[in-house]
């Protein structure tokens, strides 16, 4: 139906439309409509209404507003702030001291929220004032906050994994479980870098200071319970097979409200903000998804996935070489595209290639999310860099960029590890 040139032209057009600043959904939609119109006239417009209803009325995707709402309630209810303080009590003595708090707090926060932006903004807001009093290297503080926040989309629940699962028909439960091990390895790598570096150059960390007295620490220890409860409730009900990911999200929302009510922070003003924010994120995501599902449909009718995978099969490259090429490609794309847009736009083309090379859909999902993590912290467009810079409120964004570099290398190292030992990703 269409040659490889056609596919390349379509993708190039998509990039151009994105770069001239059309809304992401509109760019995807325009390419789809144009493709449909050139090859089929208006025949392929007719199924649009039915498809849109199908996309919106999809129980898998219902997990998105629920998980977003859960995260919103927990952040606005002050759960994160308390958790951060409780963690910093214990991590002080490590080499690199409080820098580890940023990573662990991000890891824990990632487990109760599916968004990196939320993680960066929340952790950053608590972190900077704490660190300024203690003479830490601002570059490292910024770097740890921005990089730690990327864990938000890898460690379940993750909005990106839900979207990937819905587009490729992959079990979201399997994706969530598969994200845990790489997420923890990555957090460990981040902490390793901090520890090693601060031994080599102790100036990056401030004085260790004294541990808070035990009764005080013990009292704050209970602030670690809410995130733990949420994680156990959500992942436990998925893993234990009692609930689908969507149902688990619903249970998570109710649990989050109860916990926040225990803190005395459940009120109408807070709920209203959380609801509006949830609806904004949901509508934003769904508009892109409506366009993406339609684009996938058109690409499928045009036979693009088959053409691309045949083209790649004919090249006869080693899987690992192909993987290397893809990593380079995603690194470049990630510099210019928003992470979510990059993921959605490339799935229909890249997934057939990976399938051809024998990778499992779950493996590719985790790989793709890690590529998104890179995109979040690569200049000039990395969203986390700017969020952290904005929260920091002084100096130049270059400091944040310098700060994330060691962590960027960690992510690449983990990708290499997963490429060589695909078994690290279950499924």
Partner 1 sequence: MSRLPAETPFVLKRIETLSRLFALAAGASVALLAVLICLDIGARSLLNVSLQGTDELGGYVLAFAGSCGLAYTLLHKGHPRIDIALSRLPRVLQNPAHVLAQGTLAAMASFMAYHAVGELAQTIRFGAVTNTPLQTPLWVPQGLWALGCGVFALTTIATTLHAIWLMVRAPERVALFYGPMTVSEEVEDFMETPQGEARS
> How many other C-beta atoms can be found within 10 angstroms of the C-beta atom of residue 383?
19
Give residues 305-344 in contact with partner 1 (rule: CB under 8 A).
Answer: 336-338, 340-341
Residues 6 or more apart from 380 whose CB is under 8 A from it?
335, 336
Minimum CB–partner distance for residue 178 and partner 1 (Å):
24
Whole-number CA gyration radius for the chain: 22
Give residues 28-87 in contact with partner 1 (rule: CB under 8 A).
Answer: 29-30, 33, 45, 48-50, 52-53, 56-59, 61-62, 64-66, 69, 75-76, 78, 82
Residues 6 or more apart from 55 whose CB is under 8 A from it?
61, 286, 289, 290, 293
Tell me which residue has tokens 């003479």: 135
Tell me which residue has tokens 């900077």: 128
Please state, in angstroms and rounded to a whole number, the distance separating the CA atoms of residues 67 and 391: 24
Q: Which is nearer to partner 1, 107 or 285 (CB)?
A: 285
Minimum CB–partner distance for residue 108 and partner 1 (Å):
17
Give residues 194-223 in contact with partner 1 (rule: CB under 8 A).
Answer: none
Of the candidate spans 164-172, 275-283, 346-354, 360-368, the one that interacts with partner 1 by CB under 8 A turns out to be: 275-283
Contact residue for partner 1 among 277, 319, 416, 424 (CB under 8 A):
277
Contact by Cβ (8 Å): 72, 277: yes
Contact residue for partner 1 among 11, 40, 311, 386 (CB under 8 A):
386
Which pair of structure tokens corresponds to residue 221?
């220890």
Minimum CB–partner distance for residue 162 and partner 1 (Å):
12
Q: CA–CA distance from 19 to each of 23, 183, 341, 398 (Å)?
A: 10, 31, 12, 23
Q: Which is nearer to partner 1, 73 or 410 (CB)?
A: 73
Minimum CB–partner distance for residue 277 and partner 1 (Å):
7
Could you tell me how far CA 111 lies from the centroid of its own chain?
A: 11
What is the signed CA dihedral for 69, 75, 79, 81, rounded to 10 degrees? 170
Contact by Cβ (8 Å): 419, 172: no
Minimum CB–partner distance for residue 411 and partner 1 (Å):
21
Q: Which of 70, 54, 119 is nearest to 245 (CA)?
A: 70
Q: Which is nearer to partner 1, 308 or 341 (CB)?
A: 341
Contact residue for partner 1 among 218, 280, 306, 315 (CB under 8 A):
280
Q: Which of 266, 274, 262 is nearest to 229 (CA)?
A: 262
Which pair of structure tokens corresponds to residue 390?
């904005």
DSSP character at residue 211: P
Binding mask 216-255 for partner 1 (x = CB under 8 A): ---------------------x----xx--xx-xxx-xx-
Contact by Cβ (8 Å): 56, 290: yes
Q: Which is nearer to partner 1, 222 or 267 (CB)?
A: 267
Contact residue for partner 1 among 3, 232, 263, 317 (CB under 8 A):
263
What is the signed CA dihedral for 209, 210, 216, 221, rounded to 10 degrees? 60
Contact residue for partner 1 among 259, 387, 401, 425 (CB under 8 A):
387
Contact residue for partner 1 among 150, 158, 198, 389 (CB under 8 A):
389
Minimum CB–partner distance for residue 265 and partner 1 (Å):
5
Q: Which is nearer to partner 1, 177 or 274 (CB)?
A: 274
Please state, in angstroms and rounded to a whole number, the distance separating the CA atoms of residues 383 and 397: 12
Q: Should residue 113 be labelled a site residue for partner 1 when binding is judged by CB under 8 A?
A: no
Of the candidate spans 27-35, 298-306, 310-318, 325-333, the one that interacts with partner 1 by CB under 8 A turns out to be: 27-35
């Amino acid at each position: 139906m269409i040659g490889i040139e056609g596919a390349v032209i379509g993708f190039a057009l998509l990039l151009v439309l994105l770069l001239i600043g059309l809304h992401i959904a509109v760019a995807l939609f325009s390419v789809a409509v144009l493709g449909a119109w050139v090859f089929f006239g208006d025949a392929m417009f007719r199924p649009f209404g039915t498809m849109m209803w199908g996309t919106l009325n999809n129980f898998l995707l219902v997990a998105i507003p629920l998980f977003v709402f859960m995260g919103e309630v927990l952040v606005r209810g002050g759960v994160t702030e308390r958790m951060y303080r409780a963690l910093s009590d214990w991590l002080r003595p490590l080499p690199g001291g409080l820098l580890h708090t940023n990573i662990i707090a991000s890891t824990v926060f990632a487990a109760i929220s599916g968004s990196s932006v939320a993680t960066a903004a929340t952790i950053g807001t608590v972190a900077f004032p704490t660190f300024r009093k203690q003479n830490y290297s601002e570059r490292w503080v910024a770097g740890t906050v921005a990089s730690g926040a990327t864990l938000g989309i890898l460690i379940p629940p993750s909005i990106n994994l839900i979207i990937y699962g819905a587009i490729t028909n992959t079990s979201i439960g399997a994706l969530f479980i598969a994200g845990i091990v790489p997420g923890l390895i990555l957090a460990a790598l981040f902490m390793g870098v901090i520890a090693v570096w601060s031994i080599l150059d102790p100036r990056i960390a401030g004085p260790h200071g004294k541990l808070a007295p035990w009764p005080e620490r013990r009292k704050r220890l209970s602030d670690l319970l809410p995130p733990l409860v949420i994680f156990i409730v959500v992942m436990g009900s998925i893993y234990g097979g009692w609930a689908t990911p969507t149902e688990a999200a619903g249970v998570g929302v109710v649990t989050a409200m109860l916990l926040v009510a225990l803190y005395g922070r459940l009120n109408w003003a807070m709920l209203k903000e959380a609801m509006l924010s949830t609806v904004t994120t949901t509508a934003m995501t769904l508009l892109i998804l409506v366009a993406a599902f339609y684009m996938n449909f058109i690409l499928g009718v045009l036979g693009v996935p088959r053409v691309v995978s045949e083209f790649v099969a004919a090249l006869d490259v080693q899987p690992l070489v192909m993987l290397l090429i893809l990593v380079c490609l995603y690194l470049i794309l990630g510099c210019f595209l928003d992470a979510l847009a990059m993921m959605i736009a490339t799935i229909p083309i890249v997934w057939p290639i990976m399938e051809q090379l024998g990778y499992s859909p779950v493996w590719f999902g985790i790989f793709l999310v890690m590529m998104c993590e890179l995109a979040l912290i690569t200049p000039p467009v990395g969203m986390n860099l700017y969020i952290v810079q904005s929260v920091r409120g002084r100096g130049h964004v270059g400091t944040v960029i310098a700060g994330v570099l060691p962590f960027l290398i960690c992510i690449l190292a983990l990708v290499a590890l997963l490429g060589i030992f695909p078994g690290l990703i279950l499924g």
